[in-house]
Amino acid sequence: MLAKNIQIRKAIKEDLPQILELVIELAVYERAPDAVTASLADYEEGFSTGLFDCIIAIANQKMIGVALFFPTFSTWKGRMLTLEDLVVTESFRKMGIGQLLFDAVLEEAKNTGCRLLKWQVLDWNIPALRFYEKNNAIIETNWWTGKIIFDQ
C-alpha cells in the first residue's frame, strides 16, 4: 500500500534536526542506539560544505524518511555516490516510501554522471536485503568493511 500525498524533495538546512532524529531511529533499529555521536553542528557543517546531501520524504508536513548520500570516486568506475543511510520511520514502512527515496537517489546519481551507487546493508536485515534485491542490486558478500574510529 503506497502512502498518499507524499512529497519527495531535496533537504534544506532547516531539515537537519529531523534528519538527525531519523538517523538515531535507524541506529536504534540497527541495535546500536549509542553509536550516533555526530551532533547537529556536525550535520550543519557537513551539509553546508557539500560533504553530504539528502532527499527526504514528507507526509502531513512531517519528515517520515530520508536518504543521506555523498559523492565519492571509484578507482575502477569513476564518479559514484555512496548511500550512507536510507530510513523510513517505522509507522510509514511498507508503504513504498523507501522505494520513492531510493528511486530519487538513483535519479540523482544518473543526473550527476555517476557510474556507480554503493551502500552497505547489515547481513541480518532481511527486509533491507529483499528490498535491494528487488531493485536488481548486486549484494557483495565477499567484501569486508574495515574502519578505524577516532575518539574526539
Q: Catalytic site residues?
A: 132
Question: How far is C-alpha 109 from the geometric centre of its chain's CA atoms?
Answer: 13
67 DSSP β-pair partners: 55, 86
Integer Cα distance of 90 and 146 in angstroms = 29
Integer Cα distance of 133 and 92 in angstroms = 21
Q: Find where cell 511498507 sits.
A: 94
CB distance 56 to 89 below 8 Å: no
Contacts of 53 (CB under 8 A, 6+ apart): 10, 11, 47, 68, 69, 70, 108
**Other beta carbons less than 10 A from residue 50's beta carbon:** 9
